[in-house]
Every structure is written in structure tokens, then in C-alpha cells.
């Protein structure tokens, strides 16, 4: 399972890439593998919405499950990945790259401290 070292992670299998005060969010390689073939991605927030940490921002649907994605950091949604509408399989193919879900302008940078680093996340996976 790939776990890029420069990213942050949550126990709900989301990854976060931090660029200044913008957080880019997606789901991990482990998550897409667990879900298997993804058939639909629904991003429930709109650009301009403000969401709190922990609110559902997306639902990722495969043939076996429909998993909620919880916003790891609260803030204003500045971009959503529209290409996932037509190509949900990108989440399986490129979970850390082209299958980013949402970009958030973080409202409280201290929330970053609640995230785990790559090593901690990898150790978690084995206990799943």
C-alpha cells in the first residue's frame, strides 16, 4: 500500500496535502482497495460552502459499499474535483494524484495537529 511520506492522514483513511493555508484532500490507496471498483463519487459540498472539521464532504460508492468522507480540517471549500463525476475509477487508479476530492481554505491551522503522519498511518493499517 502506498503511503506518501509528505502527506498527513486520518484514521478514516483520508489524506491531506498542505500548501500554505490550503488543504487538498482525498482518500488513501488502502481505502480505495477496501472499497474495490468505485462507481460513483458524490461531493456533497459546493464551492463557497463552509464546513466544520468532521462534517461529511463526500460519499464514495462502490459495488459493495458507500463510504462517507469526513472533512479532516474545517474551512471554506475553494475547489471540488469535477472530473470524478465522469471518471470515478480515477480514485482506484490514482488516489493521491488526479483523484483529489476537495480543496479547503483552512480556517483553523491548529487542527493540523490532530492529523497523523505517514508512519503512524501505516502502522494503523495493519491493525484494521
Partner 1 sequence: MTEPTIFELSRPGRKGIRFPAPDVPKTALPETFLRDELPLPEVPENTVIRHFTNISQLNHAVDTGFYPLGSCTMKYNPKINEETARLPGFSQIHPLQPVVTIQGALGLMHEAQQWLAEISGFDAVTLQPAAGAHGEFTGVLIIRAYHLSKGETQRTKMLVPDSAHGTNPATSTMAGFDVVELPSDERGNIDLEVLKAELDDTIAGIMITNPNTLGLFDENIVEACQLVHDHGGLVYGDGANMNALLGIYKPAHMGIDVMHFNLHKTFSTPHGGGGPGSGPVGVIKELEEFLPAPHVVKVNEGDENNPDFYDFVIPKNTIGRMKSFHGHFGVVVRAFTYMLSLGKNGLLDVSQSAVLNANYIQSLVKDVYNIPYERLCMHEFVTEASWEDAPGVRALDISKRLIDFGFHPPTNYFPLIVHEALMIEPTETETKESLDAFAEAMLQIAEEAKNNPDILHNAPTKAPFGRFDEVKAAKDLILRTQLPDDYGK
Partner 2 sequence: MYTPHTQADRDAMLKVIGVKNLEDLFQGLPDKGKFPDLELPDGVSEMELLDELQYISSVNETPQELISFLGAGAYNHYIPAAVDNIMRRGEFLTAYTPYQPEIAQGTLQAIFEYQSLIAALTGMEVANASHYDGATAVAEAVNMAYHQFRGRKKKIVLSPSVNPHYRGTIHTYMQGIDLEIVGEDLDPEVSPDELIELIDEDTALVLVQYPDFFGRIYDLTKLGEAAHEKKALFSVHINPISLGMIKPPSVYDADIVTGEGQPLGIPMSFGGPYLGLFATKKQYVRKMAGRLAGETVDSKGQRGYVLTLNTREQHIRRENASSNICSNQGLIALASTIYLSLLGKSGLKELAELNYHKAHYAAEKMSTVPGFTVNPVQPFFNEFVVHCPLPATEINEMLLQHDIMGGYDLGVDYPGLKYELLVAVTELTSRSEIDHLVAVLEEEYHD
Q: How many Å from the N-terminal Cα to the C-terminal Cα in the chain?
A: 13
Is the CB of residue 26 less than 8 Å from the CB of residue 100? yes
Q: Is 61 in the site for partner 2 (CB under 8 A)?
A: yes
Among 18, 22, 44, 124, the residue binding partner 2 under the rule CB under 8 A is 44
Angle 16-100-51 (CA atoms, 0-180°, nearest 5)? 65
Taking CB within 5 to 8 Å according to partner kind, which of partner 1, partner 2, none is near residue 37? partner 1
Is the CB of residue 41 less than 8 Å from the CB of residue 58? yes
Chain residues binding partner 1 by CB under 8 A are 37, 39-40, 61, 63, 88
Is the CB of residue 43 less than 8 Å from the CB of residue 49? no
Whole-angstrom Cα distance, residue 55 to residue 22?
Answer: 17
Q: Which is nearer to partner 2, 34 or 98 (CB)?
A: 34
Q: Which is nearer to partner 2, 59 or 112 (CB)?
A: 59
Q: Which is nearer to partner 1, 37 or 108 (CB)?
A: 37
User: Which residues of the chain form contacts with partner 2 (CB under 8 A)?
Assistant: 40, 42, 44, 61-66, 68
Amino acid at each position: 500500500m502506498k503511503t506518501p511520506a509528505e502527506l498527513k492522514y486520518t484514521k478514516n483513511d483520508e489524506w491531506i496535502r498542505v500548501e500554505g493555508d490550503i488543504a487538498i484532500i482525498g482518500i488513501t490507496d488502502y481505502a480505495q482497495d477496501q472499497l474495490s471498483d468505485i462507481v460513483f463519487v458524490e461531493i456533497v459540498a459546493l464551492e463557497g460552502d463552509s464546513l466544520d472539521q468532521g462534517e461529511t464532504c463526500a460519499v464514495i460508492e462502490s459495488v459493495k459499499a458507500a463510504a462517507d468522507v469526513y472533512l479532516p480540517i474545517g474551512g471554506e471549500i475553494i475547489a471540488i474535483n469535477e472530473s470524478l463525476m465522469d471518471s470515478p475509477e480515477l480514485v482506484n487508479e490514482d488516489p493521491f494524484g488526479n483523484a483529489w476530492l476537495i480543496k479547503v481554505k483552512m480556517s483553523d491551522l491548529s487542527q493540523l495537529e490532530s492529523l497523523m503522519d505517514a508512519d503512524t498511518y501505516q502502522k494503523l493499517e495493519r491493525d484494521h
